[in-house]
Protein backbone atom coordinates (compact mmCIF):
# COMPACT_ATOMS: atom_id res chain seq x y z
CA UNK A 1 0.00 0.00 0.00
CA UNK A 2 1.32 3.45 -0.86
CA UNK A 3 1.88 6.07 1.83
CA UNK A 4 -0.91 8.22 0.47
CA UNK A 5 -3.54 5.48 0.06
CA UNK A 6 -5.10 6.15 3.51
CA UNK A 7 -5.37 9.85 2.62
CA UNK A 8 -7.13 8.98 -0.64
CA UNK A 9 -9.66 6.99 1.37
CA UNK A 10 -10.00 9.84 3.88
CA UNK A 11 -10.53 12.45 1.16
CA UNK A 12 -13.12 10.23 -0.52
CA UNK A 13 -15.00 9.73 2.76
CA UNK A 14 -14.88 13.40 3.76
CA UNK A 15 -16.04 14.38 0.26
CA UNK A 16 -19.28 12.43 0.74
CA UNK A 17 -20.14 14.44 3.86
CA UNK A 18 -18.94 17.74 2.39
CA UNK A 19 -21.06 17.24 -0.70
CA UNK A 20 -24.13 16.60 1.45
CA UNK A 21 -23.54 19.95 3.13
CA UNK A 22 -22.95 21.75 -0.18
CA UNK A 23 -26.18 20.27 -1.57
CA UNK A 24 -28.07 22.14 1.15
CA UNK A 25 -26.85 25.57 0.11
CA UNK A 26 -29.80 27.94 -0.32
CA UNK A 27 -29.25 29.45 -3.76
CA UNK A 28 -30.98 32.68 -2.79
CA UNK A 29 -28.61 33.18 0.16
CA UNK A 30 -25.21 32.82 -1.57
CA UNK A 31 -24.53 36.53 -1.01
CA UNK A 32 -25.26 36.32 2.73
CA UNK A 33 -22.49 36.59 5.32
CA UNK A 34 -22.67 36.44 9.11
CA UNK A 35 -20.24 39.33 9.71
CA UNK A 36 -18.67 42.16 7.74
CA UNK A 37 -15.26 40.45 7.95
CA UNK A 38 -16.62 37.07 6.83
CA UNK A 39 -16.78 35.54 3.38
CA UNK A 40 -20.21 35.30 1.82
CA UNK A 41 -21.89 31.91 1.84
CA UNK A 42 -21.14 31.58 -1.87
CA UNK A 43 -17.48 32.54 -1.46
CA UNK A 44 -17.03 30.04 1.38
CA UNK A 45 -18.80 27.26 -0.54
CA UNK A 46 -16.76 28.07 -3.67
CA UNK A 47 -13.55 27.89 -1.64
CA UNK A 48 -14.60 24.52 -0.23
CA UNK A 49 -15.46 23.28 -3.73
CA UNK A 50 -12.13 24.41 -5.16
CA UNK A 51 -9.92 23.27 -2.27
CA UNK A 52 -9.44 19.57 -3.15
CA UNK A 53 -7.92 20.59 -6.48
CA UNK A 54 -4.92 22.04 -4.67
CA UNK A 55 -3.65 18.45 -4.44
CA UNK A 56 -2.77 18.55 -8.15
CA UNK A 57 -0.11 21.31 -8.08
CA UNK A 58 1.13 20.09 -4.71
CA UNK A 59 1.81 16.66 -6.17
CA UNK A 60 2.82 17.64 -9.70
CA UNK A 61 4.92 20.78 -9.20
CA UNK A 62 7.93 21.63 -7.04
CA UNK A 63 6.31 24.82 -5.79
CA UNK A 64 3.43 27.17 -6.37
CA UNK A 65 3.73 30.94 -6.53
CA UNK A 66 0.54 32.87 -5.86
CA UNK A 67 0.61 36.41 -7.23
CA UNK A 68 -1.79 38.20 -4.91
CA UNK A 69 -2.20 41.09 -7.36
CA UNK A 70 -3.78 38.79 -9.95
CA UNK A 71 -5.26 36.03 -7.77
CA UNK A 72 -9.05 35.99 -7.77
CA UNK A 73 -10.65 33.54 -5.33
CA UNK A 74 -13.40 31.43 -6.88
CA UNK A 75 -16.97 32.60 -6.38
CA UNK A 76 -19.35 30.41 -8.35
CA UNK A 77 -22.78 31.99 -8.89
CA UNK A 78 -24.92 28.85 -8.54
CA UNK A 79 -25.15 25.81 -6.32
CA UNK A 80 -24.95 23.62 -9.44
CA UNK A 81 -21.58 25.18 -10.36
CA UNK A 82 -20.32 24.76 -6.79
CA UNK A 83 -21.28 21.06 -6.80
CA UNK A 84 -19.85 20.46 -10.28
CA UNK A 85 -16.57 22.12 -9.30
CA UNK A 86 -16.38 20.13 -6.09
CA UNK A 87 -16.95 16.83 -7.91
CA UNK A 88 -14.32 17.66 -10.55
CA UNK A 89 -11.76 18.83 -7.98
CA UNK A 90 -12.21 15.74 -5.79
CA UNK A 91 -11.79 13.49 -8.85
CA UNK A 92 -8.65 15.39 -9.92
CA UNK A 93 -7.22 15.20 -6.40
CA UNK A 94 -7.88 11.48 -6.09
CA UNK A 95 -6.28 10.82 -9.49
CA UNK A 96 -3.19 12.88 -8.64
CA UNK A 97 -2.90 11.24 -5.23
CA UNK A 98 -3.20 7.74 -6.69
CA UNK A 99 -0.39 8.51 -9.17
CA UNK A 100 1.96 9.91 -6.50
CA UNK A 101 5.06 7.89 -5.69
CA UNK A 102 6.10 7.50 -2.07
CA UNK A 103 9.52 9.12 -2.63
CA UNK A 104 7.91 12.26 -4.05
CA UNK A 105 5.58 12.48 -1.04
CA UNK A 106 8.57 12.92 1.26
CA UNK A 107 10.17 15.59 -0.93
CA UNK A 108 9.68 19.19 0.15
CA UNK A 109 7.18 21.42 -1.61
CA UNK A 110 7.08 25.20 -1.34
CA UNK A 111 4.31 27.74 -1.35
CA UNK A 112 5.40 31.19 -2.46
CA UNK A 113 3.32 34.34 -2.14
CA UNK A 114 4.41 37.11 -4.49
CA UNK A 115 7.68 35.22 -4.96
CA UNK A 116 8.44 35.06 -1.24
CA UNK A 117 8.44 31.71 0.59
CA UNK A 118 5.37 31.21 2.79
CA UNK A 119 6.36 27.68 3.85
CA UNK A 120 8.20 24.56 2.78
CA UNK A 121 7.12 21.09 3.96
CA UNK A 122 7.11 17.50 2.71
CA UNK A 123 4.33 17.05 0.14
CA UNK A 124 2.50 14.50 2.27
CA UNK A 125 2.25 17.07 5.08
CA UNK A 126 1.03 19.74 2.68
CA UNK A 127 -1.70 17.38 1.41
CA UNK A 128 -2.74 16.73 5.02
CA UNK A 129 -2.78 20.44 5.92
CA UNK A 130 -3.84 22.31 2.77
CA UNK A 131 -6.25 19.75 1.36
CA UNK A 132 -7.66 17.50 4.08
CA UNK A 133 -7.50 19.62 7.25
CA UNK A 134 -8.25 22.84 5.39
CA UNK A 135 -11.36 21.32 3.81
CA UNK A 136 -12.66 20.00 7.13
CA UNK A 137 -12.01 23.38 8.78
CA UNK A 138 -14.05 25.27 6.20
CA UNK A 139 -16.78 22.63 6.23
CA UNK A 140 -17.12 23.38 9.95
CA UNK A 141 -17.49 27.06 9.12
CA UNK A 142 -20.10 26.19 6.51
CA UNK A 143 -22.10 24.24 9.09
CA UNK A 144 -22.28 27.38 11.25
CA UNK A 145 -23.39 29.49 8.29
CA UNK A 146 -26.09 26.97 7.43
CA UNK A 147 -27.25 26.75 11.05
CA UNK A 148 -27.56 30.55 11.21
CA UNK A 149 -29.71 30.37 8.07
CA UNK A 150 -31.89 27.64 9.65
CA UNK A 151 -30.82 25.05 7.08
CA UNK A 152 -30.99 21.51 8.51
CA UNK A 153 -27.52 20.00 8.86
CA UNK A 154 -26.62 16.50 7.71
CA UNK A 155 -24.80 14.03 9.91
CA UNK A 156 -21.04 14.53 9.76
CA UNK A 157 -19.22 12.39 12.33
CA UNK A 158 -22.38 11.65 14.21
CA UNK A 159 -25.99 12.76 14.42
CA UNK A 160 -26.97 16.41 14.26
CA UNK A 161 -29.90 18.08 15.99
CA UNK A 162 -31.61 17.92 12.58
CA UNK A 163 -30.90 14.32 11.70
CA UNK A 164 -30.84 11.85 14.55
CA UNK A 165 -29.07 9.12 12.63
CA UNK A 166 -25.94 8.80 10.55
The model's pLDDT over 70-110, given as tens digits with 9 standing for 90+, comes to: 999 999 999 999 999 999 999 999 999 999 999 999 999 99
Q: The whole model's pTM is what? A: 0.95
Q: Nearest-5° angle of CA 53, CA 57, CA 62? A: 160
Residue-level pLDDT at 78: 98
Smallest Cα–Cα separation from 81: which of 29, 45, 40, 52? 45
Listed by start position, the domains of the chain span: 10-60+76-103+123-148
28-59 pLDDT per residue, tens: 999 999 999 999 999 999 999 999 999 999 99
Contact predicate 70/16, CB 8 Å: no
Residue-level pLDDT at 1: 86
Classify 99 in phi/psi space as left (phi over 0), alpha (psi -120 to 50) or beta.
alpha
Question: Architecture of 10-60+76-103+123-148 per CATH?
Answer: Up-down Bundle (1.20)
Distances (CA, A) of 30 to 24, 34, 140: 11, 12, 17
CB neighbourhood size of 99 (10 A): 12
Amino acid sequence: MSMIAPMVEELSQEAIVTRKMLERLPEDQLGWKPHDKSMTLGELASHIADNPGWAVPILQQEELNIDMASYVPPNFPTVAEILDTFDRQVAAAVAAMQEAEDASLLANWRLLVNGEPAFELPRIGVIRGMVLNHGVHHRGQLSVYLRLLNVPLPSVYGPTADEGSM
